[in-house]
Structure 1
Amino acid sequence: MTDVITLINAKDYKALAQYCEFEEIQSASGSNIMLGQLYPVYLASCILLNDLQSARHVRKRILASNNKTPEIDAIWSVATALIQKSYPQVYQNLDSFQWSEYMVPLVQQIKADIREQMLIMIPNVYTSIELKQVRDYFGTSEEECLQELSTRGWRFNETTRVLFPVKPAPKPRISTNSNQFEKLSDIVLSLEKF
Structure 2
Amino acid sequence: MITNFDKLCGDLEKQELEAPNGIASPSTYAQLLAIYLYQNDLCNAKFLWKRIPQNITSSNPEITAIWSVGQKLWKKDLPGTYQTLAAYNWTEPVANIIRALEEKVRERTLNLIGRSYSSISLDTLVSMTGLSRDAALHSCRDRKWTISNDGITINPLPPAQPAPLHTSSEDQLFKLTEFVSFLEN
TM-score (norm 1): 0.77
CA–CA distance in 2 between the matches of 1:57 and 1:70?
Answer: 18
Structure 1: how far apart are the matches of 2:161 and 2:70? Answer: 31
Quote the residue 1:93 is aligned against. Answer: 84
Q: Which residue of 2 aligns with 1:184?
A: none
**What is the aligned partner in structure 2 of residue 132 from structure 1?**
123
Match of 2:12 in 1: 20
Structure 2 gap ranges (5+): 167-185
Is it true that 1:108 corresponds to 2:99 in the alignment? yes
Aligned to 1:67: 56
Matches within 5 A, 1:143-154: 143-154=134-145
TM-score between both structures, scaled by the size of structure 2: 0.80
CA distance change for structure 1 residues 24 and 96 in 2, over 3 Å: closer, same or farther? Answer: same
- Count, aligned residues: 164
Once the 2 structures are TM-superposed, how far is the Cα of residue 160 of structure 1 from its aligned partner? 6.9
Of residues 32, 40, 55, the one that matches 2:45 is: 55
The residue aligned with 2:171 is none
**Secondary structure of the equivalent of 2:147?**
strand
Alpha-carbon distance in structure 2 between the residues aligned to 1:118 and 1:30: 37
The answer for the alignment partner of 2:173 in structure 1 is none
Of structures 1 and 2, the larger Rg is shown by 1
1:167 aligns with 2:158: yes
RMSD of Structure 2 on Structure 1 (CA): 2.0
Q: Distance in 2 between matches of 1:59 and 1:30?
A: 15
Offset of 1:79 from its aligned partner?
0.7
Identity rate, percent: 29
**1:79 and 2:70 are equivalent in the alignment:** yes
